[in-house]
Homo-oligomer: A and B are copies of this chain.
C-alpha cells in the first residue's frame, strides 16, 4: 500500500475545518475587545524552540498548538488601533479566499488554466483603477520591495548602458546613477545593492519642508553627475513616503525624466492607491506618466499578505528582463503548455502561487468604490487626529499630514524628549492600548501613526490621544504611587 499525505479520516478533518472557520471569524469579529499587542511569554518561546518530531501529530493536536502558541501572540495588525509601520488589516473574506487558493494549489507560472486568466484580469482592473495605460504589462509579486526591484531592474536594463549580453555592469563605460529623495524607502537601497550598482549609485536628494523631493536640487544633481561622467538613468518618485506620507511632484519629475532620457519609477506602496479616489486623485498627478509603478495590495487594499503589483509601460523591456527560459518550459500549440499569459517572464519567480485569487475575490466583493471610500476615510481620520494633537497641550505635530500618516511627539521642558517619546510608545504597546511605531525626523524620535486600517473609528484616535496625554503626565510628573509599566 502506497503512502499519501491525504488524511485517513476526511470527516474529522472537515469538522476541524469548520472549527477553524468558526474560531477565526470569531477572532476577527471580536478583535476590538482584545489588547492590540502583547509580548510572547517565555514558556511559549520555549515551545517554539523545540525540535521536530520524526512521527506524525494529529491535525487536531497541531491546531491546538496553533491556538496556544501562535494565535494569542499576533502582531496585532487586524486590530482597529494598530497603526504601526504600514500594514493592512486583512479581511474575513480575504481569509476564505486563501483557503480556496490553498486547496487549488495552482502554480501560476503560465499555462492554459484559469489562474493566469484571473491574474491577467486583475492586472487590467488595477491598471484601470490607477489610471495607468492598459497596454502596460504587469505582474503580481510578493510585496512592494520586489515590485520596486522589478521596476528598477527594467530601468537599469534599458537606460543604464549595461551590457546584458556580455559582462553586464562590469563592462560599463560610465557608472550608472539613479535618484530619489532622502525619504526614499529602504527597499530601493536594497534593490540597488541587489542590482549590482553599489551604494553610491543611489543619489539621495534633499527634500523641502513638506518632505517632497527638492526638484531644483534634483536637476542640479543630474547635471553635476553628467558633467562628472556618470550616467544618470532613473528617478525614483515617492507617492506617499513611508515616514510622513509625502508625495513628490510627479509632474515635475516626469518632465525632468523626459528631458534627460531617464526612467521614472514610482514607489507608490500605499500612496499610489489614492488614484482610486476621485477626490484625492490629483495628489498623485503624474502617476500616469511613470515608466513603472510599484504598489502593494496587502496595505491599503487589505488583501491578506503577501501581494503587490508592478506595472511597466514598456511591455517588451519588462519581458526581456525576466524571460531567460528553459527547454522544459517550451510552449505548445495545445494542451497545458499553451495559454496566452506567461507571468513568470515578468518577474523573478518561475513557480508562482495563486495570489491573484484573493485579489480577484476581494475586488469583486467590495467593488472599486468601497475601497475608494475607505481610503478617503483613513485620510480624513489622519486629519482628525492631527487636529486633536494640535489642540492637546504637551503634544505637537512633527510633520505635515498630507495623507494618512501622522507624526507627532509629546514635549516637556527639561526632559530628554526622545526618551520620553520612546517610553510613551513602548508603554502604549505594552499595555495593549494602541500600536503606532516610531521614526526619526530631523534627528528627533517621533511617534508615527500610519492609518491603513479599515476597522479604525474616530473613537480609536480619541483613545490614542487620551492615552498619550496620560502617559506623558505619568512620565513627566512621576506619581510615586504608580510603578513603571
Q: Is the CB of A74 within 8 A of B329?
A: no
> Among A16, A101, A176, A454, which residue has the most Cβ atoms of chain B within 10 A?
A101
Q: Does A45 sit at the interface, judged by CB under 8 A? A: yes
Which B residue sits closest to A426, measured CB to CB?
Answer: B335
A304 contact from B14, B65, B168, B353, Cβ within 8 A: B353
Would you give the shortest CB distance from A37 to chain B, in whole angstroms?
6
CB of A77 within 8 A of CB of B91, answer: no
Residues of B within 8 A of A91 (CB): 5-6
| Interface flag for A251 (CB, 8 Å) | no
- The copy count of this chain in the complex is 2
B145 near A351 with CB under 8 A, answer: yes
Residues of B within 8 A of A186 (CB): 324-326, 329, 350
Does residue A480 face the partner (Cβ distance < 8 Å to B)? no
Are the C-beta atoms of B305 and A125 separated by less than 8 Å? no
In the complex the two chains form, is B6's CB within 8 Å of A28's CB? yes
| B-contact bits for A157-178, CB 8 A (1 contact / 0 none) | 1000011111111111011100
- A85 to B112, alpha carbons, bound, how many Å? 14
Q: Pick the contact of A198 from B71, B170, B353 — CB < 8 Å?
A: B170
A242 at the interface (CB under 8 A from B): yes
Give the interface residue-count category, chain A.
35 or more
CB of A20 closer than 8 Å to a CB of B: yes
In the complex, A284→B370 CA distance in Å? 54
**Given A53-B367, A91-B5: A70 in contact with B175 (beta carbons within 8 A):** no
Stretch at the interface among A389-397, A409-417, A429-437, A465-473: A429-437
* Complex CA distance for A364 and B63, rounded to whole angstroms: 10
Q: How far is the CA of A357 from the CA of B95 in the complex (A)?
A: 14
Please tell me if A463 contacts chain B, counting CB pairs below 8 Å.
no
Among B78, B95, B99, contact of A24 (Cβ-Cβ < 8 Å)? B99
Given A75-B113, A167-B197, A439-B328 in contact, is the A351-B296 Cβ separation under 8 Å?
yes
Stretch at the interface among A115-123, A207-215, A252-260, A311-319: A115-123
A48 touches B18 (CB 8 A): no
Q: Within the complex, what minimum Cβ distance (angstroms) separates A455 from chain B?
A: 6
Asked if residues B439 and A349 are in contact (CB atoms below 8 Å), the reply is: no
Instruction: Identify which of A54-62, A216-224, A286-294 touches chain B.
Output: A54-62
